[in-house]
Amino acid sequence: MRHLHPGHVAWPHVWAWVLLLAQLWSPVGGSGHGSAPSCPGYVATRVTDTARGFRAALALNGAPCNRFGRDISNLTLHVSLDTSSRLHVHIEDTERRQFQIPESVLPLDRGRGAADGRAMLRLNLTHSSATGVGLQVLRGDEAIFDTTGHPLVFEDQYIEITSRLPENANIYGLGESPDWFRRDPANTTRTLWNRDAQDPFRENVYGSHTVYMELRDGRFHGAYLHNSHGMDIVLAGGTIQYRVLGGTGDLYFFAGPTALDVIDQYTELVGRPARIPYWALGLHNCRWGYRSAEEVDQVIANYSQAGIPLEAAWTDIDYMDGMRDFTFDPAAFPPAAMRRQLERLHARGQRMVLIVDPAIKVEPSYGTYARGRELDVFVRNADGTDYIGQVWPGYTVFPDWFAANASAWWGGELGRFLDKLPVDGLWIDMNEPASFCTGSCGSGMAPGQSPASSSSPRTPDASNRFLVPPYAIHNPEPELSSKTVETTAVHANGVIEYHVHNLFGLMESRLTREVMQRRQPGQRQFVLSRSTFAGSGAVASHWTGDNSATWQDLHVSIASMLDFGVFGIPMVGADICGFMGNTTMELCARWSELGAFYPFARVHNTRGARPQELYRWPAVAEAARRALAVRYRLLPYVYTAYQDAVERGWPAARPLVFEFPATAAVADNDRQFLLGDAILVSPVLAEGARSVEAFFPRGRWYDWYTHDAVEGADAAIALDAPLEHVNVHIRAGRIVPAQHPGMTTAETRDSDYELIVAADERGAAAGRLYLDDGETLDSPHRWLGLHFRARTLWVSPQSGCYAAGRPLARLTLLGVPGVRGVAVNGTAVECTVEAAGASVDISGLRIDLNVPSRITLL
């Protein structure tokens, strides 16, 4: 439970800008529930100033409506200006009986307050005799969130908060759900209830994220609801409406005004993205269905023989003995063979990642289960018995991350496992948590008994309001408990699953990272999680789950990647070539071209489907080599962009609307994207296409391969796109650091640096380069500023003491003709200058990046 803490901000005129307007308002819109009973809302009384804002009592404004539960008569409104750009508005039941997310699960930044006159947001209270108190969050004179005319509904199992939206609003975020990036403001119901589902379009899947941002008149703002309950968030009728199955109305508002500002402000609250090891930016390969360690060895060798970079070999649940966690199949994946494979990978600068599931097989002779029983770390039924579901190994129990001994038990099991095989990263799957049956289907079964091949659907007890809540969120399953742990299952803190279901994946990811960190103090850890929540980016990366080998899923993968940039989880990607079903040569070629630019790039498919490693078809292999050569050459640039994520939350992959918010045509563009702010990727997303309509915002853009200039005019241009080619362009006015692409990230890092200077129409450009060891948490670093104007390039160390081991050896100049030579700090140096049209390549340089340099073009 959080409490307000005194700050150091004196509010002028005793909260003079909080207006209590005693007006009569006509109800605007409605409840969104058709003929549902009308609710009175609440009236604000006893307004009291606090150090950072104010507090008010809220009382029912009339007879309770008890729409989907019991109206709570007395609430408390807390308002706090956490920072100059973040406003916290919390409506809670005065007796504090409603569940709230514990600080131990998701610690939030409390902010520093704001100096007088620096506040970008403020709150007005309005009042209507019909609908009660209204909340207006104002940025200047603009209401970015306004509940006026819509009654607040606050019941024991239902909260409803409704805010007006402008016509045809531009809304981004809210999920996780495969959908187009810009949400349909007239017809979107986003359900948040973590679910094991094979990426059905516009349905809830693995994660829950309530944060959204809105673009109005070229400026962004955002909001986040801090609540772990199941809910619907509905965009319709000119409103955004939260329909929540419990908890409190704990809202945070972000002033922006840019998209990157909103993400900065949000991740400051819930946690900055975790530092990743440099190797995570390479290409990864996996499939479910490898039959032996020898088969994985052959796959690794085949990538090398095909000349396709491979950074990490992953193995799915195939390596386990009977699909039990922390075991190895003694015949197909014996520990000795796996260790030899790991040693060979490391000798070549490559890595290994293995999967871990949370569900533990009920088997007394299985050490992981026996030790967990002894330490009492499993979720229970209401009668105190173990809750037993069904996952891959059969009947299983589920770790209770709230249990006092959960950390010791999970740490012990992971430690034993890593002692056998010290893999480089862990991949957590099935952590919604997923179960193949409904309810505790294994209760009463004899140890070792196998589950039935199928279970009959049940009729849940409708009198139990936690099994069947009065308001039914739009979860497509027969009931909330379908395919997961039952909502009435009990955790060690006495809280039932109903309240904490959406937190399971976050809690497992956090504990797994902590265990790995304790094992390797100071080293960066790589954890990939399927299920996520607000703040997951601070502890894990993400892939978008069980997509399908279809052209629509290829397109939707861009929007999903961009969604997770909004959610504060920038290290994200979709299974390249699709997980479910049989890919085709053409689809896999196009997907390899797109996937080469996902922040997290992994090939992965299901057992029984056609193999789709990128060397399987000559055309796919060539497409992959070409696209991955661009990715690996760009690694210094991408790593620099990712450091912006670590420091400010900024996503590495960005929609065009983030950089060009005043250009209406890009508001719904999820067919292209930017890496950082300089690299535009325009993939082919349609079967049979050999060209692509690429939108170019106003300005100059240079073709990555030919260096030809494209003059953007806020219009689409048809570009040739042969099967083995993906269009990539460099934005004029940017300087892009690069290195020669190798077969691994380590080989690439061991090459000299290059700067691609893409001059704008004024002959100017700028960029940055971030350097560190890519492995440790406390590595020294170095930020370099890069500026070009008047035919002079300045390389200026800005902070840090990391020693760059490789020199700047090459300059590629775009839009800078007539170069004959180079002088460094006033002295001409030997180099090779080759001109081709408007581009110039200068090689043979040996410029030390550890000291300031002035490079003049002669």
pLDDT in tens, 168-189: 999 999 999 999 999 999 999 9
Residue 735 phi, psi dihedral angles, 5° rounding: -115, 125
pLDDT in tens, 361-379: 999 999 999 999 999 999 9
Quick one: pLDDT at residue 115?
81
Beta pairing partners, 3: none
Alpha helix (H) ranges present in 656-756?
Answer: 656-659, 745-749
For residues 328 and 686, give the distance between their C-alpha atoms in angstroms, rounded to a whole number: 42
Query: Are the CB atoms for 634 and 745 separated by under 8 Å?
Result: no
Quick one: pLDDT at residue 7?
28
For residues 276 and 28, give the distance between their C-alpha atoms in angstroms, rounded to a whole number: 48
DSSP track, 495-529: -BHHHHGGGHHHHHHHHHHHHHHHHSTTB---EEE
For residues 708 and 114, give the distance between their C-alpha atoms in angstroms, rounded to a whole number: 49
Over 60: is that where the pLDDT of 10 sits?
A: no
Q: Is 557 helix (H, G, I), strand (E, B) or coil?
A: helix
Quick one: pLDDT at residue 433?
98
For residues 356 and 512, give the distance between their C-alpha atoms in angstroms, rounded to a whole number: 10
User: Among this protein's residues, is 644 annotated catalytic?
Assistant: no
Per-residue exposure over 433-463, b if at least 16 CB sit within 10 Å of its own CB, e if not: bbbbbbbbbbeeeeeeeebeeeeeeeebeee
Over 80: is that where the pLDDT of 304 sits?
A: yes
Q: Rg of the Cα trace of the chain?
A: 28
Q: Is 226 helix (H, G, I), strand (E, B) or coil?
A: coil
Query: Closest Cα to residue 773, out of 513, 443, 522?
Result: 522
Residue 57 DSSP code: E
Over 50: is that where the pLDDT of 646 sits?
A: yes
Structure tokens of 756? 């691609």
Quick one: pLDDT at residue 624?
98
One-letter identity of residue 594 = L
- Overall average pLDDT of the 209-235 stretch: 98
Name the pLDDT band for 23 (thresholds 50, 70, 90).
very low
Query: Are the CB atoms for 274 and 223 separated by under 8 Å?
Result: no
User: Among this protein's residues, is 546 annotated catalytic?
Assistant: yes
Residue 761 phi, psi dihedral angles, 5° rounding: -65, -15
Over 80: is that where the pLDDT of 36 sits?
A: no
Structure tokens of 146? 């306004």
Among the ranges given (51-60, 157-166, 457-466), the one the predictor scored with the smallest mean pLDDT: 457-466
Over 70: is that where the pLDDT of 18 sits?
A: no
For residues 385 and 389, give the distance between their C-alpha atoms in angstroms, rounded to a whole number: 12
Per-residue exposure over 662-684, b if at least 16 CB sit within 10 Å of its own CB, e if not: ebeebbbbbbbbbbbbbbbbbbb
Which residue in 92, 179, 329, 546 is the catalytic one? 546
Q: Helices then strands (H, E): number in the chain?
A: 13, 49
Quick one: pLDDT at residue 448?
79
Quick one: pLDDT at residue 33?
56
For residues 817 and 840, give the distance between their C-alpha atoms in angstroms, rounded to a whole number: 7
Quick one: pLDDT at residue 835?
92
For residues 457 and 809, give the distance between their C-alpha atoms in angstroms, rounded to a whole number: 67
Quick one: pLDDT at residue 6?
27
pLDDT in tens, 505-530: 999 999 999 999 999 999 999 999 99
Per-residue exposure over 723-735, b if at least 16 CB sit within 10 Å of its own CB, e if not: bbbbbbbbbbbbb
Q: Is 236 helix (H, G, I), strand (E, B) or coil?
A: strand
Count of alpha carbons within 13 Å of 835, Cβ hemisphere only? 9
Query: Closest Cα to residue 855, out of 806, 821, 807?
Result: 821
Query: Are the CB atoms for 168 and 654 separated by under 8 Å?
Result: no
Structure tokens of 836? 């081709």
For residues 819 and 837, give the distance between their C-alpha atoms in angstroms, rounded to a whole number: 12
Residue 279 DSSP code: G
| Average pLDDT over all residues of the chain | 94
Which residue in 432, 479, 508, 613 is the catalytic one? 432
Quick one: pLDDT at residue 117?
82
- Overall average pLDDT of the 342-354 stretch: 98
Quick one: pLDDT at residue 447?
80
Structure tokens of 552? 């629509």
For residues 11 and 817, give the distance between their C-alpha atoms in angstroms, rounded to a whole number: 58
Query: Are the CB atoms for 50 and 34 separated by under 8 Å?
Result: no
Query: Are the CB atoms for 325 and 356 separated by under 8 Å?
Result: yes
Query: Are the CB atoms for 474 and 232 separated by under 8 Å?
Result: yes
Quick one: pLDDT at residue 449?
85
Burial bucket for residue 703 (CB in 10 Å: 0-12, 13-18, 19+) = middle
Quick one: pLDDT at residue 21?
35
The percent of residues in the chain predicted with pLDDT above 70, rounded, is 95
For residues 840 and 837, give the distance between their C-alpha atoms in angstroms, rounded to a whole number: 8
Query: Are the CB atoms for 241 and 234 separated by under 8 Å?
Result: yes
- Overall average pLDDT of the 481-485 stretch: 97
Which residue in 413, 429, 586, 659 is the catalytic one? 429
User: Among this protein's residues, is 670 annotated catalytic?
Assistant: no
Q: Which residues contact 646 (CB under 8 A, 6 or more apart)?
A: 272, 273, 274, 275
- Overall average pLDDT of the 440-462 stretch: 85
Quick one: pLDDT at residue 455?
66
For residues 486 and 479, give the distance between their C-alpha atoms in angstroms, rounded to a whole number: 10
Name the pLDDT band for 454 (thresholds 50, 70, 90).
low
For residues 518 and 711, give the distance between their C-alpha atoms in angstroms, rounded to a whole number: 53
Query: Closest Cα to residue 310, out of 302, 322, 320, 318?
Result: 302
DSSP track, 169-223: -EEEEEES----SEE-TTSEEEEE-----S--TTS--S-BEEEEEEEETTEEEEE
Quick one: pLDDT at residue 836?
83
- In the block, which residue shows the tokens 């930017």? 674
- Domains present along the chain, CATH in parentheses: 20-270 (2.60.40.1760), 638-857 (2.60.40.1180)
Quick one: pLDDT at residue 838?
76
For residues 731 and 734, give the distance between their C-alpha atoms in angstroms, rounded to a whole number: 6
